[in-house]
Amino acid sequence: MGSHMCDLLLAEGMRVICLDNMLTGTERNVAHLSDDNRFTLTRTDVIDPVAVEGGVDYVLNLASPASPTDFDTLAIEIMRVGAWGTYHLLELAREKNAVYLQASTSEVYGDPLVMPQTEEYWGNVNPIGRRSVYDEAKRYGEALTMAYHRKYGLAVRLLRIFNTYGPRMRPDDGRAIPTFISQALRNEDVTVHGDGSQTRSICFVADEVDGIFRLLMSDETQPVNVGNPDTEVTMRLLAETIVQLAGSSSRVVFRPQPFEDDPKHRCPDITRAREILGWAPSTGIEDGLRSTIEFFRALA
């Protein structure tokens, strides 16, 4: 998603400095920007203090591993970037008198007890479960962001991203869509965890970054959900749809759920995004999945 955000910001005439340690990213996603003198890629880790020369108008913090498979293998890294990374980028924004955008997540709602989730919902999170490293890191990031806003008057934006997908995802990302697509293109069994009845609302990346940009350009300091409530789909139907769109001979099979706190339902209320940002997603689920499948097919 960061690479798509770089594309949009450059298209809006901005200069972009991209900071990434490539822990879960790849330079391939921004290779097409290498000849643009307005774009700079710096290999660095924001858990260390961040120094940027010259003026900075906006600081966007999208830094964190976010796949469920990362929650075990990169648990400490997720907590460190959620704490120290957020602190260092807030300090950079304060030093430069820049607008700061914190990319939070629907995971702050945990396994929600209300549907759909509004920004006023405080969530249902297990603070010591295997998913908690991501949930709590993002909740901490929101709290620290608001502390800077209240103490220093820092201009902040709080973005709550719901499941986003599209070209440039890692084939081995571990999340449902890249996993299902990769398996379908190899004509392997497509594995669904649990009974497949759990739902997610999936938002195509072009719609997501449009919402992010609109929030960045607004004056809104309270959290805003950016996701697609019209594409809530069960994992079983999502797997079956991907198999069909990929022209695959794969079977859909079911495996035990690896996480005890896996949310059963996830769907955003985007009333605030519609009213404040004039934003709504426009990409249908089949169009978005076709584009993503073709990206993975070309990668293979």
Residue 134 appears among annotated catalytic residues: yes
SS3 helix, strand, coil % of the chain, rounded to 5? 40, 15, 40
Distances (CA, A) of 117 to 66, 182, 281: 20, 30, 17
- For 262, residues 6+ apart whose C-beta sits below 8 A from its C-beta are 111, 131, 193, 194, 198
Tokens of 107: 């995971």
Integer Rg of the chain from CA: 19
Q: What does the chain come to in residues?
A: 300
Catalytic residue (choose from 87, 109, 134, 148): 134
Handedness of CA 278, 283, 289, 292 (dihedral sign): negative
* CA 41 – CA 38 distance, rounded (Å): 10
Burial (0-12, 13-18, 19+ Cβ within 10 Å), 149 = middle
Cβ atoms of residues 269 and 225 within 8 Å: yes
DSSP tally for the chain: helices H, then strands E: 10, 12
Distance of CA 85 to the CA centre of its chain: 16
**Active site residue ranges:** 134
